[in-house]
Amino acid sequence: MWIRLFILHFKKTVLFASVIIAVTEAMNYLYVDDTREFARCMMREFYEGKENIDRLYLGSSHVFCDIDPAILDEINGENNFNPASNTQQLNTSYYLLKEAYKKNHIERVYLDLYYLCTNAGPGNFHDYQSLPPSWTVLNQMRPSANKLSYMLDLSSPKYYYMTFLPFMRYREQLFNLDYVAEIVEGKQSDEWKNYAYSYTGPNGEDIIKRGGKGFRIYYGELEYGGFCAKGEEAAITEDPITQESLEYLQKIVEFCEERDIQLIWIGCPISDFQLVRNGGYDNYIRQVSELAKQHQVSYYDFNLCKREYLDVSQEQYWFDMGHMNAYGAEAFSQFLGNFLLAQEAGGNEYRDCFYSSYGEKVYNLQQEIYGLEIVRSKEYERCMPQLPEEEWQDYVIYRLRFVTNAPEDIMDIGVSVVKDTVTGEREEVAVIREGIDAYVTFPVQEHGEMYVEARLRGAAEGNSWIGIEY
């Protein structure tokens, strides 16, 4: 009798679980927007690949933008794969490594340590703001004990309902039929069904394409023709890596040691504009270097490369201030492949490749302007001392901060605005100088396009930006 009852209860449990799974999958199809999600295409390549993955490259978007596995295949004669993802934190890297090891005999793992993915914010894995980038990878992982562990480790219990039920992340759209119709329409496209991935410009030209083996090809160029950013960034603090990041870094090290996998830490190139603008990058390098010595892991930060070995400073190599385009990826991938082979062979042709610190690098570079930072300012007393306080609201102030390694007194700054949209005729704007900072003011009711140019005295040409639509 008890056997029959057990079977009956078991059947009911299986039926109930099947219904829950079916409903969840249906709701995910209707509400989860992955129609433009690159991780979906990458994970498809990850699972469907027939060749053994010899070399694995883990990390954030800098990896899938900067490292082309096809170029590395040609250089080292092995199969290289790049399961990187947007803002990939170390917990995601760890579980992707475990997932890859299931069916591959991995010889080498290269882990990119990007400071913004290990610091406070993204580096606090159980904070809500860290979850969306991880969910994009989790959504595409096949059911397994490894996936279940990842789900349980990913968030605190209060966010489990969104981790286990992806459609609940879109609960505000629950009764929005227009949203559902848009998602379903996107999933009916050949691109979604075939795991294709591309972005095209207004003229039909490719801007972003899937490059294979996790590589994403950017054909775009810097929006302003040079490095430019709106808003301010806080400097990197002492010992910036969070405790949660340190714990998963330890797990990755132990996993590789136990399976005789060679682990190498790398730092993919970031523009000098971003690093100088942030400030404090040597704090991060020092901490990672100490950890590398502690764990007996090789660490190569290519942001310390001397330009005679690797020069990716040219603006044509960049899509934005942190990500390389196709030309930059080709240049870096070629260098990376040859560099790693030389290290494996014990050669010494790169023995003088790196500066000892980023500060040393900037000091030894020729004087140049890396880019422009633009922020709204409220320094009315500084810029408009002749006006009474009640009239300040009639004006807007922009602070222009030039990111440079040159002395402030050898820089000339010019600002102009377009006064005739037909002819493009410009009119100079008064600039208030304070060192590398400059301030310009406009009436609130006036709108147009502001052009900014800075030049180091003696330089052949200046740096120009379309700074902002004011």
Closest alpha carbon to 370 in 302, 311, 321, 303: 321
Residue-wise burial string across 77-107, b where 16 or more C-beta atoms lie within 10 A, e elsewhere: eebbbbbbbbbbbbbbbbbbbbbbbeebebe
Q: What is the pLDDT of residue 310?
A: 95
Closest alpha carbon to 140 in 209, 39, 52: 39
Give the containing element (helix H, strand E) for 328: helix 326-345
Find the angle CA(22)-CA(27)-CA(31) to the nearest 5 degrees.
155
Give the containing element (helix H, strand E) for 247: helix 243-258
Q: What is the pLDDT of residue 9?
A: 60
369-469 placed in CATH 2.60.40: yes
> Facing residues of 49 across strands?
none
User: Which residues, 6 or more positions from 184, have their beta carbon under 8 angstroms from its beta carbon?
Assistant: 29, 30
Q: What is the pLDDT of residue 15?
A: 66
Mapped onto helix, strand or coil, the DSSP state of residue 146 is helix
Structure tokens that stand for 266 in this block: 């790398």
Give the containing element (helix H, strand E) for 200: strand 198-200
Mapped onto helix, strand or coil, the DSSP state of residue 97 is helix
**Distance of alpha carbon 119 from alpha carbon 104, whole angstroms:** 31
- For the chain, helix, strand, coil in percent to 5 are 45, 20, 35
**Distance of alpha carbon 311 from alpha carbon 228, whole angstroms:** 20
**Distance of alpha carbon 400 from alpha carbon 431, whole angstroms:** 10
Q: What is the pLDDT of residue 13?
A: 65
Q: What is the pLDDT of residue 423?
A: 76
Find the angle CA(24)-CA(30)-CA(34) to the nearest 5 degrees.
100
Residues of the chain with CATH 3.40.50.1110: 37-153+190-363
The residues of the chain scoring below 50 in pLDDT are none
Q: Is residue 58 within 8 Å of residue 109, measured between CB atoms?
A: yes
Mapped onto helix, strand or coil, the DSSP state of residue 342 is helix
Q: What is the pLDDT of residue 196?
A: 84
Give the distance, in angstroms, between the CA of residue 394 and the centroid of all CA atoms in the same chain. Answer: 38
Q: Is residue 285 within 8 Å of residue 304, measured between CB atoms?
A: yes
Cα-flanking dihedrals φ and ψ of residue 367, to 5°? -65, 130
**Distance of alpha carbon 123 from alpha carbon 108, whole angstroms:** 25
> DSSP label at 119?
S
User: Which residues, 6 or more positions from 277, have their beta carbon under 8 angstroms from its beta carbon?
Assistant: 229, 233, 370, 371, 373, 403
Q: Is residue 68 within 8 Å of residue 330, measured between CB atoms?
A: yes
Q: What is the pLDDT of residue 16?
A: 63
Residues of the chain with CATH 2.60.40: 369-469
Give the containing element (helix H, strand E) for 438: strand 437-443
- In single-letter form, the type of residue at position 177 comes to L
**Distance of alpha carbon 122 from alpha carbon 189, whole angstroms:** 33
The count of other CB atoms within 10 Å of the CB of residue 66 is 31
207: burial class by Cβ within 10 Å (0-12, 13-18, 19+)? middle
Q: What is the pLDDT of residue 25?
A: 81
Q: What is the pLDDT of residue 11?
A: 62
CATH number of this structure's domain 37-153+190-363: 3.40.50.1110
Q: Is residue 208 within 8 Å of residue 216, measured between CB atoms?
A: yes
Find the angle CA(161)-CA(162)-CA(165) to the nearest 5 degrees.
80
**Distance of alpha carbon 45 from alpha carbon 68, whole angstroms:** 14
Give the DSSP letter string of 387-426: S-GGGGGGEEEEEEEEEESS-GGGEEEEEEEEEETTTTEE
